[in-house]
Amino acid sequence: MAESGATLSNLSTESRVFPPSEEFAAQANATAELYDRADADREAFWAEQADRLSWSKKWDKVLEWDAPFAKWFVGGQLNVAYNCVDRHVEAGNGDRVALNWEGEPGDSRTITYADLQREVSKAANALTGLGVGKGDRVAIQLPMIPEAAIAMLACARIGAMHSVVFGGFSPGALKARIEDAECKLLITSDGQYRRGKPAPMKENTDEAVAGTTIEHVLVVKRTETDVPWTEGRDLWWHDTVETASDQHTPEGFDSEHPLFILYTSGTTGKPKGILHTSGGYLTQSAYTHHVAFDHKPGESVYWCTADIGWVTGHTYIVYGPLANGATSVMYEGTPNTPHEGRHWEIVQKYGVSIYYTAPTLIRTFMKWGDDIPAKFDLSSLKVLGTVGEPINPEAWMWYRKNIGGDRCPIVDTWWQTETGSTMIAPLPGVTPTKPGSAMRPLPGISATIVDESGTPVGNGEGGYLVLDKPWPSMLRGIWGDEERYRETYWSKFAEQGYYFAGDGAKYDEDGAIWLLGRVDDVMNVSGHRISTTEVESALVSHPTVAEAAVVGASDEMTGQGIVAFVILRGSAAKDGGDDAIKALRDHVSKEIGPIAKPRQIMVVEELPKTRSGKIMRRLLRDVAENRAVGDVSTLADSSVMEMISSGMQEGKED
């Protein structure tokens, strides 16, 4: 790959702009002067944001930055669970609903802040009774049930760290994470509902726990499945937690006291245990949830569709919203159980006003068809959010029209497990939006796009996204591996002291930021560095395409040639004939230029995705280059690759 000069070509242009409506702007939490205020004095700005929280001891200093190690709100003390629960009860809001929980089979639970205070206190007492204390690690593998949030908050309350592992991870993956963090306790369930049927959980976690540091396994009953039982080690949640006292006095912990470890596997390699601490993390989580979603306590009904096993679930199901006294919806199941309108039915039932989801799901909704959301009353919606991948402009437009009724601002939020909370996003009511752009860093956050030498690029140019100033919710390290922390994030631009996010990005002519995918996926065609995102978005802008993934495959003539895998929309799904393929290739050429015209296009039924919904282009590269497909252990559905590889034999080329 070319190592100097333009790091990424700027191929697409987008002329659609949506300024905030006057009506929305008039009631928005955020105002334009936030940007200036934060620029004028960043530390004072963050100190103001930290005042959203209740501190048992005020901090002495806002920031201590000994690169790459930050301490925020130095000397301050707080209890994270008290901030998320008790203080709302003390303020007279004990009757406010914290969680409207919707089970996959159709059962539901309503949990108020007063209920949550009792439940978290009981769980905290139970954990203490099991010998779990300050600094100990607790592994949690649970379905999307209220006990998942309760368990996390109980850990936070007693100063123990949680390590939540997504419910779909295998026993091997869970075991590796338990071993790396030397967890003392595992909290799990008997089973979990998957697409309408109970699937085993405890049976798998037993396999993971064998021979590890786990002393006890606390088991929530969810599916009433028969489970294997080890006397002395295993305990039922309903025997242990339900019987504990519901009185518990929270203690203040240091602002830098560790709150959790969350493993992120990326697409390859040993998972990294990303470490987050208390005061800074909660400050930025609460602040971003307030301004980027325009959340109004006691009024908004907020739904983040992520799983608690990902950082989005940590920050925007548990910590951010609860710190802000939000009323949330939490849904246990898959979006098409028992029908493809399930999400819209839930929006209608609870009057959801803020809906936050991932592009992969939006593209799936597009594939299922416009007629499905059209059957439901979505008029309660006020703000829509997206996170996890670049959102293709056409998917953004679809979301705006079919879900947001052409009236709701869309906040495209860029961030990472490592950043802890949102970094780049428009402020609803303030920042005009463009379909597909995350627009600009939030007030208080500084991000830049630089070239290979670390020099900022100009408008209309692409490069590497870096974060050039520390931020409160930044990761504090990789658990047990300082060297890897320095190497992964701080070595590429060591001289400048920039955090390297691993993403490509560009400024458009107006200086708005467009995320262009992981730099490892960038393609090099005849010396032009082309982002996967731009070609994929060009494909998705064709009316027949619901989803696309492109990769660079070695090519004798051009270095790499672009190979595209596309999923067609419902009505077009049968038409993968030569004419249709030619039309798609020509469409890309017309939209962004002949250089980006795919050499080959394959129509597929599914794309390989990680369990959090990100496309695994590495595996598609193997297929495109006729290699044996590499490690598929992080794939959500490993059979997808067999399907694609066998189809590739009949792939079309011209």
Interface with ligand PRX (CB under 6 A) = 264, 311-312, 387-390, 412-417, 438, 501-503, 515, 518, 612
* Length of the chain as a residue count: 654
Tokens 């963050």 — which residue? 46
Sign of the four-CA dihedral 458, 460, 466, 470: positive
Sign of the four-CA dihedral 312, 313, 315, 320: positive
CB of 388 to ligand PRX, least distance (A): 5
The region, left, alpha or beta by phi > 0 then psi within -120 to 50, assigned to residue 533 is alpha
Give the DSSP H or E segment for 34: helix 33-40
Yes or no: say if 435 and 397 are a contact pair by the CB < 8 Å rule. yes
Q: Is 288 or 300 the residue whose CB approaches ligand PRX more closely? A: 288
CB of 415 to ligand PRX, least distance (A): 5
CB of 508 to ligand PRX, least distance (A): 15
Sheet holding 499-507: strands in order across?
447-450, 462-467, 499-507, 513-518
CB of 400 to ligand PRX, least distance (A): 15
Does residue 68 have a cis bond before it (omega within 30 degrees)?
yes
CB of 389 to ligand PRX, least distance (A): 5
CB of 496 to ligand PRX, least distance (A): 19
Measured between alpha carbons, how far is 471 from 280 in angstroms, rounded to an integer? 8
Q: Is 68 or 94 the residue whose CB approaches ligand PRX more closely? A: 68
Question: What would the two tokens of residue 296 be?
Answer: 């109004």
Q: Is 314 or 469 the residue whose CB approaches ligand PRX more closely? A: 314
CB of 609 to ligand PRX, least distance (A): 12
Q: Is 177 or 216 the residue whose CB approaches ligand PRX more closely? A: 177
Q: Is 193 or 281 the residue whose CB approaches ligand PRX more closely? A: 281
List the beta strands (DSSP E) in 27-95: 61-66, 69-74, 77-78
Q: Is 391 or 457 the residue whose CB approaches ligand PRX more closely? A: 391
Of residues 552, 549, 572, the one with CA closest to residue 560:
552
With a CB cutoff of 8 Å and minimum separation 6, the contacts of 359 are 386, 388, 389, 390, 391, 392, 395
CB of 33 to ligand PRX, least distance (A): 25
Give the DSSP H or E segment for 275: strand 272-277
Q: Is 294 or 389 the residue whose CB approaches ligand PRX more closely? A: 389
Q: Is 112 or 416 the residue whose CB approaches ligand PRX more closely? A: 416
Question: What would the two tokens of residue 601 be?
Answer: 């296009």
Measured between alpha carbons, how far is 305 from 411 in angstroms, rounded to an integer? 15
Of residues 253, 251, 249, 259, the one with CA closest to residue 282:
259
Q: Is 79 or 612 the residue whose CB approaches ligand PRX more closely? A: 612
Yes or no: say if 387 and 358 are a contact pair by the CB < 8 Å rule. yes
CB of 66 to ligand PRX, least distance (A): 25
Name beta bridge partners: 163: 139, 261
Q: Is 7 or 93 the residue whose CB approaches ligand PRX more closely? A: 7
CB of 443 to ligand PRX, least distance (A): 18
Measured between alpha carbons, how far is 400 from 408 in angstroms, rounded to an integer? 7
Q: Is 258 or 271 the residue whose CB approaches ligand PRX more closely? A: 271
CB of 636 to ligand PRX, least distance (A): 14
Yes or no: say if 165 and 261 are a contact pair by the CB < 8 Å rule. no
Per-residue CA distances from 544 to 394, 398, 469, 574, 609 (Å): 12, 13, 43, 10, 21
